[in-house]
Amino acid sequence: MGDARDQPNAPEGEEAVRDTDVRWTMRGAFTVVFLGLTAGLQMSDMGVQAVSLSAIQKSFEISDAALGSLQGLAGVLVGSALAIPLARFADRFSRKRLLLCLILASTMMMVLSALAQNFPLFFIGRSAAGITEFAMVPLVYSMIPDLAPERHRVAANLGFAGLMALGASGGFYFAGPLLTLAGGLSPLELEPWRKALLLLAVAGVPMLVLAGLTVDPPRRSSTVEARIATSLRDFLRQRRTVILSFVGAAGFLIVGVQAINHLIALALERRYLAAPGEIGESLGVIVLVTTLGCLPFAGLLDRCLSARFHQTSRPAIMALCTAAAFPLVVALAFAGTLHMAFIALGLALYMTSSANALVPTMIQDLVPATLRARCFAIWSFTVSVFGALGPVLAGALSGQVLGGNMMYALAYVALPSMVLSVLFAISLFVRQAATQCSANAQKSAACSNSADNASLS
């Protein structure tokens, strides 16, 4: 990974463009929207799966721990094997061709999941379907700086996240109607949840056609980045303290958030004896409102604070929003009614989504353009490792310690993870502030020397 071949070269068939003055084009804007819709489609099947967990558990006769592994580990296995090698292709070859391959592979793996006759095969299918999330995230966030002007980069990142949120919320909100529709389809004698996955797989066909209209932009790097000839290994070694603080801040936040995201439907169903369709509909609204509503809030905070604090404002926003979620998670664990639980859940997800909204921008700030896709791939794998811990730990606690009380299990996993996230975010803030102060001091010294030389001459 750190040999001479990792030196940032121009991709095959094109030259890296050393010009940061990117301008919007119609095809460029369409590409950003399309990438968001494609990622949203992948997120939607996770929502349908989450709402169908009880049915899946009955179909395969599996334990809570197995459900936790399905929600946490499925996706890590294939993603860990393919994300970084595919990102090397994204850094060097046509990103558009890679996009077409990913959509096709994701569609095929969704069909495999729907037709699996035993849990190991279903687990493999769901793991393989995670290829879209693992490989598309590096692809998208490596392309956005080459498609959007710098002054619109944060907005483009947040817009892409918003489209993913639409897919995620749609998976929850329409899970009930989709399962009802699927149950009424007679051509195949399958459980409704299997037919629902097949219907989502069919949506991959028009996405393949529309992918042909996207643009494959030239890679653009700033003048400073163009002078940097560092391998991925050298970059990680040089920035290791800042990177470790960032990974701790964002990673432990994901542990808590993913435990809640993946298992809250089952926890609500068990505690309040509510129907899966009713829960899915409400969760769809909550996911949509929180993940979309947090984007202008996070963008406004970033715009207001970055003018004064620059990049150090982003870890500060993460720490403050995560800390604000503490009492809301406690309220969720002890809510007396389903209605109060939904309110606490919505507020908690709003704050954690706000804390997480600027993470892609923070990575783009840290990473040179020529290493961007690979660094996002490494981050995608890291996210999945952290994200797998949440559901796995919560499922194990619920089944083996708490007698099936999934709601308490979620709180026991989420709260310590969020505390660690805040501590690492504070560490990142301090390190970036020190670096910024040092850079400002050097700039002032250089200006002073220039002024002294001018006066002498």
Q: What b/e sequence results for 121-142 when a residue is b if at least 16 CB atoms lie within 10 Å of its CB, and e otherwise? A: ebbbbbbbbbbbbbbbbbbbbb
Contact between 305 and 354 under an 8 Å Cβ cutoff? The reply is no
Contacts of 438 (CB under 8 A, 6+ apart): none
Q: What pLDDT score does 32 carry?
A: 87
Is residue 195 within 8 Å of 188, Cβ to Cβ?
yes
d(CA 316, CA 323): 11
For the chain, what is the mean pLDDT? 81
| 415 neighbors 325 (Cβ within 8 angstroms) | no
CA-nearest of 56, 69, 299, 27 to 162 is 299
> Quick one: pLDDT at residue 249?
94
pLDDT in tens, 336-360: 999 999 999 999 999 999 998 888 8
Statement: residue 31 has pLDDT above 80:
yes
Cα torsion 27, 369, 374, 362: sign: negative
414 closest CA partner among 246, 190, 259, 207 = 259
- 18 φ/ψ sector (left φ>0, alpha ψ -120 to 50, else beta): beta
Q: What is the rounded CA–CA span in Å between residue 124 and residue 331? A: 36
Token pair for 431:
């390190």
118: left (phi over 0), alpha (psi -120 to 50) or beta: beta
Per-residue tokens: 258: 């993913």
Cα distances from 164 to residues 77, 161, 336, 353, in angstroms, run: 22, 5, 32, 13
Going by pLDDT thresholds of 50, 70 and 90, the confidence category of residue 14 is very low
Take residue 197 and report the two structure tokens written for it. 């996955």
Question: Is pLDDT above 80 for 412?
Answer: yes
Cβ of 349: how many Cβ atoms within 10 Å? 25
Domains of the chain as residue ranges with CATH: 23-218+230-439 (1.20.1250.20)
Taking only the tens place, the pLDDT of each residue in 434-457 is 777 766 666 666 555 555 555 555
Confidence of residue 289 (pLDDT cuts 50, 70, 90): confident
Joined together, the tokens standing for residue 49 give 């799966």
Model confidence, pTM: 0.68
Do the beta carbons of residue 160 and residue 38 sit within 8 Å? no
Residue 228's pLDDT band, with cuts at 50, 70 and 90, is very low
Query: Exposed (0-12), middle (13-18) or buried (19+): which is 308, by Cβ within 10 Å?
Result: exposed
